Every structure is written in C-alpha cells, then in structure tokens.
Amino acid sequence: MAPTPYDHFRFVLVRTSHSGNIGSAARAIRTMGFDRLTLVAPNRFPDPEATALAAGADDVLANAVVVDDVVGGLAGTTFALGLSARRRGVNIPELDPREGAAQAIAAARRGEQVALVFGNERTGLENDELSRCHAMVRIPSVDDFSSLNLSQAVQVVAYEIRTALLAEQAQAAPVAEPAEVDPDEVPADAEQVERFFTHLGETLDDIEFHKGRSPTTIMLKLRKLFLRARPELRELRILHGILADAQRMADMAHKKGD
C-alpha cells in the first residue's frame, strides 16, 4: 500500500498499568486512521482485556511493538511530543493539542517520524521520559481535575491530528513524501541523539566538569539545548569528534599527573 501521512505517526504508551486502556487506545487511534502503537514496558500484554476493549481494532494490537524503555519507544523517530496533564520539572515548550498537531504534521511533512508519548495512568510521564521529548502537550482540562483517562487523551490527540490533516487535504495541500534527501542532512533520530548524550555525559565526567555537583540539572539543560537545536547526523558526528578529542586530552592529562 502507498504510504500515507498517517504512517508518520506513532502512539507510544509508557508503562501502561491497565490492559483495557491499551485496547481502548488501539480503538481510538484506529478510528482516526492511525495504526502504529508502541508499548513501553506494559504491565500485561497481550491480554484479553486489551482485545475486548479494542473492539475490533485487532490489527493495531497485533502489530503493536513492545519495547523495554522510552528510548526504545522513540527509536527511528526524530520528533516527539510528550503528553502530560501537569507541568513537570522539565522545562520544555508547552503546547495545546492543536499547536502540537500542527508541529507534528509539519515534521511529518518533512518526512520525519513523529512519536506521541503518553504516560502511566497513575504517575504520568517521568521527568526523564519527558526530557526526551521536543515539547509537552497539555490538554487544557480544569486545574482541580486535570487528568483524563489515558485512552481518552490518546483520542483527543489522534482527533486533532486527523482534523488538521483533513483540513489540509481540503485545501489540496497533501502531506507529500519528501524528495530524495541526504540522510546526513535530516535531523538525527532519537537513538542517535541518545548516543550523543551518553558520550557527552561520559566526557563531562572525564574532564571533571561537575566538580562534585550533581550532573542531573546540567544534563537536563544540555538535553533541552540540543533537542531545541535538532542536530543533523553530520553535526552530531562533529560533536562526537570534539568530545572524543576532549576525552583523549583528559586521558593524557591524567597520565601526566600520575
């Protein structure tokens, strides 16, 4: 089948407790034309409860990809929106669902794979998980009762994206598959960016940057900076080269000091 704009979106459910919600989410995305579901460390899956609530969206469940952590869930994507009812300790841009849908579609139009990331029913997305997203999307619910059921949050987002795609189609501005692009010149995907952060963290240790302070805050700030920059693979390669040189110098300095 010819690729459709809908193939550019992946719904990622993180540490879902209730299998029924997985089924309802599958139904929610299927009704809106999507079919890609990724499950990060689900409590139970496959499960009859999921199948029952999917109400026939069995193909979505059958093709669901199960991974261990959110980094695995984002693999192959270059743009991620994290859904959260509450503002977390992570200082990333906050969008409403409509703005989120517009940005997600803009990324898809550039040929990118987009992840829409949803948290656990009780605890939501951890800071660490949200910090891997380019922006947070908050559905504007009331302050004193802000948390929607997981699959209903999925429905709202899927609806917003579909509505925006339909409006585009009506204006005869379809999401075009991009022309041949140099793979070095597209934004690096989540795994490549993650490898860079690991290397950056190691290098900061090697050059004794933290001087006894906790690395957590600075790493979150650096993460935000680089996610905002959306580096290309070629640019990451240069940064890796710089880090490798810094590590080599630190190693030489240590040896001299011995």
Residues of this chain that interact with ligand SAH (CB under 6 A) are 83-86, 118-119, 121-122, 124-125, 137-139, 141, 146-148, 150, 153
Q: How far apart are the first and last CA of the chain?
A: 64
**Residue 85 vs 218, nearer CB to ligand SAH:** 85
Residues linked to residue 81 through DSSP beta bridges, in sequence order:
116, 135
Closer of 136 and 243 to ligand SAH (Cβ): 136
C-beta closer to ligand SAH: residue 58 or 69: 69
Q: From CA 45, how far away is CA 47, in angstroms rounded?
A: 5
Q: Least distance in Å: CB of 241 to ligand SAH?
A: 37
Closest separation in Å from C-beta 150 to ligand SAH: 4
Q: Do 45 and 66 form a contact (C-beta atoms < 8 A)?
A: yes
Provide, rounded to whole angstroms, the least separation between the CB of residue 167 and ligand SAH: 22
Q: Are 57 and 30 in contact (CB under 8 A)?
A: yes
Shortest spacing between CB 175 and ligand SAH, in angstroms: 24
Residue nearest to ligand SAH (CB): 124
By beta-carbon proximity to ligand SAH, the closer residue of 44 and 248 is: 44
- Residue 77 one-letter amino acid: T
Residue 11 contacts by C-beta under 8 Å, 6 or more apart in sequence? 25, 29, 34, 36, 37, 38, 116, 118, 154, 157, 158
Minimum Å gap between C-beta 191 and ligand SAH is 22
C-beta closer to ligand SAH: residue 16 or 203: 16
Extract the tokens encoding 255.
Answer: 């040896």
Q: What is the rounded CA–CA span in Å between residue 230 and residue 227?
A: 5
